[in-house]
Amino acid sequence: MKHTIEIECPPEVLMGLHMDAQRFGELIKRQAATALFKEGKLSSGMAARWCNLPRVHFLLQAMQSGAHFLDDNEDDFARETALL
Whether the Cβ atoms of residue 54 and residue 62 lie closer than 8 Å to each other: no
**Alpha-carbon gap, residue 40 to 17, rounded angstroms:** 29
pLDDT at 32: 96
Q: Along the chain (84 residues), what's the average pLDDT of each consecutive run of 10 residues?
A: 89 95 94 93 94 93 79 69 73
What is this structure's pTM? 0.75
The domain ranges of the chain are 11-82
AA letter at 69: F
AA letter at 37: F
Helix (H, G, I), strand (E, B), or coil: what is residue 2?
Answer: coil
pLDDT at 72: 60
